Chain A
């Protein structure tokens, strides 16, 4: 039996010891313990060091609001989690835990020098301190801050666990399984509703777990609880423990994170670690209760100082006394009951210090009966002790202000209670408004647009009887039923209290270490300093001091911070207002958000029919939009440059085969198809004959290039439109938008055919030698089937749409066959071309070949601010057309102004290859910052041209032909001559062969 465990008390199993480790030391707890309760049972309060000052810290709470006792848990190198709350982590056999933020050890930590230097680390410390010299930022400040920043150590291996997700629809969702939530679930279920009841704790019961002396319906509280849970099961209520409602979104959409294995010694590997439930509820009942507030006084963070309610929970739920000699400081009745319970369990209660001048008779009687010293009208002005509180400094509050002489009271634990804050985080997620309750000095829920009710302590009700009655009423209301009878409650320990900013002191307040936000080490002094330095909005005070910005999201600190800031501002708290509550309610793993969407399922990978063949050939792939495309096909140990040079030569001198299946394809059909095309694309389409193709340019109505592609007219009323690989969905959406909303009178159908067709592009002077024998029903000779033709035929016996087009400058055919035949036709072509040295080539070679011809890639050589004229594509505009998308935009003053960036070619004087994205200047000797006149958009080594080539957008570039511009690089300046963009075969003779 560990020293502080009370035999027979609590809901832990005293017959079931569980061994675990903390900082390498073996401890034995009991089944049902948390790490915090198990360590406390051995008298261990010191569980961590604070974030900024490295002050020793122990648990201050017994729940998910814990700011101090953050530990690392570890099953293996990969299965490790930092910043786990020791107050929430259940122990299991073999659990390994470590304290955080300490070096070399928890008890002796060198970082604690920060604490001695606390005057330096005041509010806005980072903003004030690391300002100068500028050069120190990269080399000194940032590395040091980064090394010191953060809590805990993240695992360095990929998370081997898996995470699940489920959707759930229910009539009523009840959040919180305390007395109010239990009653609400029962009332709704009895009215025939489907009900889900969730609670973040390991078991349902809420405050009943800490209040076993209450009798409900004539039964002890825990017997009533067991019977009630059995009744809920009979009624078909789905009860989910270890499940936190992390976010409340509009239209009663609630995200629940259910923890499935973190409490198990040997979890079934098939089990997900956590599951995200996405719940759509007809009605929501929030029964989350209230959170106890700390009091703000010097030394309120010493291990052993904790919330009175937490001490009551450790005793009644876990059978653990938090100390042998306990002092209490409070402004609320509830702390008295915690003191009474501890006294009854064998701890000495040294004193109850209450700031209120008077308390009720029954509290005084209760203290007297237990021989407890009562100091009403007193305050606490400090604590002592290095790694654990050893004494508390108490002063009398004089009538009319001022403090009496201090006295020292020895203790090994100090329980505090600053009153209770309704837990309204979820309510606020969906913009539920709050109102200030001047009597209770707290915020209460006001209005919400959701179908949502708050029951019990969440709306300021106190005591188990009230919570049960309110829960039953709210549950019935959610079910549109009449509330039933509520069981009688005996021994309900109700009470009230007042609220305080920081406690008064007789010492220099500017030296007080009175913490408001424990986790971020924010003191009352920091908050007052922030106001003094000009922060007026609570949102600014929060960010300047980081109050409430730690992983506990201000569950304990928000209201205390507000009270102090309001006092400093001389305003009432409601005039200052609260900061915004945002999801998630408690820290949530990335894994459960990602769920199934990880690895290969993170996003879709689109593959062409040729993908498997390319992979078997050892192709190197690159992502293009969601597609993966073969970038090049290395032979042997070839690197990319060598492979691309070989592939380029094959296309220029023989024949190459390219998988162009990813091209976007849209079929535009209908009686008004040609009119639609005239309005959408810049080019004129009316006179394009069926069987002919044209390069199409698509603008936005702002006049900028959006997309391009070759478009074939299949019939009077049918076009085969191709788009860029990445632009396909965008272009179809844009076409649908104009068709549906601007021109609904046009009779046109738009169909995406991207994945219907496999597109095999044969290019090179020997193309026809390979292809002609395989084509049926069509003469593809140069005379019969000239450049920019399209026709139906068969290729290798498969029905095909054959385009004679080229993105390489060589004779080219794009063979469109139904996707299911794509691979077979590809392999037939490879066989047929073997004697001609047919060479498969990838996107990198395609890029080089097109750049040699000056063909642009939308999105690489354009960036959403480039007009057709800028890109040298003014010839593609049908000037006689009355309108097309972008026609009016092209006349905008800025688009016709001189000095626009225009697409040009660049040839470097030293024949070096430029970097894409490099900036261009006219005069390299000008002082910095230099005037940048453009940038390199495309740059490649080119065997055909015999030197590297580049394209660039340069201000007034079309008028600078032959001029020299400069590209400053870190090590040198490269001079380059502006040229035309057509580097290879500018007359286009090779296209016509």
Chain B
């Protein structure tokens, strides 16, 4: 069971309190009617499925209820950071240090 830091509660808590919510930084187009079928398909279905640091969403569903973002290495299952929804994508080079 992973330990996850909720950026809203500022506490590190067991995974049981959280729910995974898919890839992060997949923003819904402001005017969906204006986008092409291909763009809409990409928004709905196309995900990066990375091996390594993955930007993803979690919800502290049995806690504060907030959605937030995280960077988790899908190889090691290690969380590199968590940050509030809406905050910009953190810089991977800084996060990974020498491993980048």
Interface, chain A (partner B; CB < 8 A):
249-251, 253, 278, 280, 431, 449, 701-702, 733, 736-737, 740-742, 744, 882-883, 887-889, 891-893
The residues of A that contact B29 with a CB separation of less than 8 Å are 888
B74 to chain A, nearest CB (A): 11
Given known pairs A251-B2, A701-B44, A883-B32, the reply for A736 and B65 (CB within 8 Å) is: yes
Asked whether B2 lies within 8 Å of A250 as measured between CB atoms, the reply is yes
Asked whether A888 lies within 8 Å of B75 as measured between CB atoms, the reply is no
Given known pairs A251-B3, A883-B31, A893-B37, the reply for A740 and B85 (CB within 8 Å) is: yes
Residue of B nearest to A702 (CB): B44
Residue of A nearest to B73 (CB): A449
Contacting residues of chain B (51-78) with chain A, CB-CB under 8 angstroms:
57, 59, 61, 65-67, 75-78
Q: Can you spell out 23 A-B residue pairs with CB atoms less than 8 angstroms apart? A: A249-B1, A251-B2, A251-B3, A280-B3, A431-B76, A431-B77, A701-B28, A701-B32, A701-B44, A733-B61, A740-B85, A741-B57, A741-B86, A742-B27, A882-B31, A882-B33, A887-B32, A887-B33, A888-B32, A888-B33, A888-B35, A888-B40, A891-B37
Residue of B nearest to A253 (CB): B1
The residues of A that contact B96 with a CB separation of less than 8 Å are none
Asked whether B44 lies within 8 Å of A744 as measured between CB atoms, the reply is no
The residues of B that contact A893 with a CB separation of less than 8 Å are 37
Whole-angstrom CA separation of A278 from B1 in the bound complex:
10
The residues of A that contact B33 with a CB separation of less than 8 Å are 882-883, 887-888, 891
The residues of A that contact B65 with a CB separation of less than 8 Å are 736
Return the 7 tightest CB-CB contacts between A and B, nearest first: A888-B32, A250-B77, A741-B85, A740-B67, A742-B28, A449-B76, A251-B3
Asked whether B78 lies within 8 Å of A889 as measured between CB atoms, the reply is no
The residues of B that contact A702 with a CB separation of less than 8 Å are 44
Whole-angstrom CA separation of A700 from B76 in the bound complex:
33
Interface membership of B21, Cβ < 8 A: yes
Whole-angstrom CA separation of A702 from B44 in the bound complex:
7
The residues of A that contact B43 with a CB separation of less than 8 Å are 701
Asked whether A889 lies within 8 Å of B44 as measured between CB atoms, the reply is yes
Asked whether B32 lies within 8 Å of A740 as measured between CB atoms, the reply is no
Contact of B67 among A250, A736, A889 (CB under 8 A): A736
B6 to chain A, nearest CB (A): 14
Whole-angstrom CA separation of A742 from B21 in the bound complex:
14
Whole-angstrom CA separation of A713 from B27 in the bound complex:
30
The residues of B that contact A250 with a CB separation of less than 8 Å are 2, 76-78
Whole-angstrom CA separation of A882 from B59 in the bound complex:
29
The residues of A that contact B85 with a CB separation of less than 8 Å are 740-741, 744
The residues of B that contact A882 with a CB separation of less than 8 Å are 31, 33
Residue of A nearest to B4 (CB): A251
Contacting residues of chain B (1-37) with chain A, CB-CB under 8 angstroms:
1-3, 19, 21, 27-29, 31-33, 35, 37
Asked whether B40 lies within 8 Å of A741 as measured between CB atoms, the reply is no
Given known pairs A250-B77, A741-B86, the reply for A889 and B2 (CB within 8 Å) is: no
Extra pairs beyond A250-B78, A251-B1, A701-B32 (8, CB < 8 Å): A251-B2, A431-B76, A733-B61, A740-B66, A741-B85, A883-B32, A888-B33, A891-B37
B47 to chain A, nearest CB (A): 14
Interface, chain B (partner A; CB < 8 A):
1-3, 19, 21, 27-29, 31-33, 35, 37, 40-41, 43-44, 57, 59, 61, 65-67, 75-78, 85-86
Whole-angstrom CA separation of A449 from B2 in the bound complex:
14
The residues of A that contact B86 with a CB separation of less than 8 Å are 741, 744
Whole-angstrom CA separation of A893 from B41 in the bound complex:
11
A-B contact count (CB 8 A): 61
Residue of B nearest to A743 (CB): B28
Asked whether A737 lies within 8 Å of B78 as measured between CB atoms, the reply is no
Most A CB within 10 A of own CB, among B2, B28, B29, B85: B28
Whole-angstrom CA separation of A701 from B76 in the bound complex:
33
The residues of B that contact A736 with a CB separation of less than 8 Å are 59, 65, 67
The residues of A that contact B28 with a CB separation of less than 8 Å are 701, 742
Contact of A449 among B40, B41, B78 (CB under 8 A): B78
Whole-angstrom CA separation of A883 from B40 in the bound complex:
14
The residues of A that contact B1 with a CB separation of less than 8 Å are 249, 251, 253, 278
The residues of B that contact A253 with a CB separation of less than 8 Å are 1
The residues of B that contact A891 with a CB separation of less than 8 Å are 33, 37
Whole-angstrom CA separation of A723 from B61 in the bound complex:
19
The residues of A that contact B37 with a CB separation of less than 8 Å are 891-893
Residue of B nearest to A887 (CB): B32
B37 to chain A, nearest CB (A): 6
The residues of B that contact A888 with a CB separation of less than 8 Å are 29, 32-33, 35, 40
Whole-angstrom CA separation of A701 from B41 in the bound complex:
10
Whole-angstrom CA separation of A740 from B60 in the bound complex:
12
Whole-angstrom CA separation of A892 from B45 in the bound complex:
13
The residues of B that contact A740 with a CB separation of less than 8 Å are 66-67, 85
B54 to chain A, nearest CB (A): 15
Whole-angstrom CA separation of A883 from B85 in the bound complex:
23
Whole-angstrom CA separation of A737 from B86 in the bound complex:
12
The residues of B that contact A883 with a CB separation of less than 8 Å are 31-33
The residues of A that contact B19 with a CB separation of less than 8 Å are 733
Asked whether B32 lies within 8 Å of A741 as measured between CB atoms, the reply is no
A167 to chain B, nearest CB (A): 9
Residue of A nearest to B29 (CB): A888
Most A CB within 10 A of own CB, among B29, B32, B65: B32
Whole-angstrom CA separation of A912 from B32 in the bound complex:
47
Contact of A737 among B21, B31, B75, B77 (CB under 8 A): B21
B31 to chain A, nearest CB (A): 7
Whole-angstrom CA separation of A251 from B76 in the bound complex:
10
Given known pairs A701-B28, A888-B32, A888-B40, the reply for A737 and B76 (CB within 8 Å) is: no
Asked whether A889 lies within 8 Å of B59 as measured between CB atoms, the reply is no
The residues of A that contact B78 with a CB separation of less than 8 Å are 250, 449
The residues of B that contact A887 with a CB separation of less than 8 Å are 32-33
The residues of B that contact A280 with a CB separation of less than 8 Å are 3
Asked whether B67 lies within 8 Å of A431 as measured between CB atoms, the reply is no
The residues of A that contact B41 with a CB separation of less than 8 Å are 892
Whole-angstrom CA separation of A740 from B58 in the bound complex:
12
Residue of A nearest to B27 (CB): A742
Whole-angstrom CA separation of A889 from B29 in the bound complex:
12
Whole-angstrom CA separation of A972 from B41 in the bound complex:
44
The residues of B that contact A278 with a CB separation of less than 8 Å are 1
The residues of B that contact A249 with a CB separation of less than 8 Å are 1
Residue of A nearest to B65 (CB): A736
Whole-angstrom CA separation of A249 from B43 in the bound complex:
34
Residue of B nearest to A703 (CB): B44
Asked whether A737 lies within 8 Å of B44 as measured between CB atoms, the reply is no
A912 to chain B, nearest CB (A): 42
Given known pairs A740-B66, A741-B67, A741-B85, the reply for A892 and B40 (CB within 8 Å) is: yes
Whole-angstrom CA separation of A333 from B74 in the bound complex:
44
The residues of A that contact B61 with a CB separation of less than 8 Å are 733
Whole-angstrom CA separation of A278 from B3 in the bound complex:
14
The residues of A that contact B75 with a CB separation of less than 8 Å are 431
The residues of A that contact B40 with a CB separation of less than 8 Å are 888-889, 892
A859 to chain B, nearest CB (A): 21
A670 to chain B, nearest CB (A): 16
Asked whether B3 lies within 8 Å of A737 as measured between CB atoms, the reply is no
Whole-angstrom CA separation of A449 from B99 in the bound complex:
12
B27 to chain A, nearest CB (A): 8
Whole-angstrom CA separation of A893 from B75 in the bound complex:
37
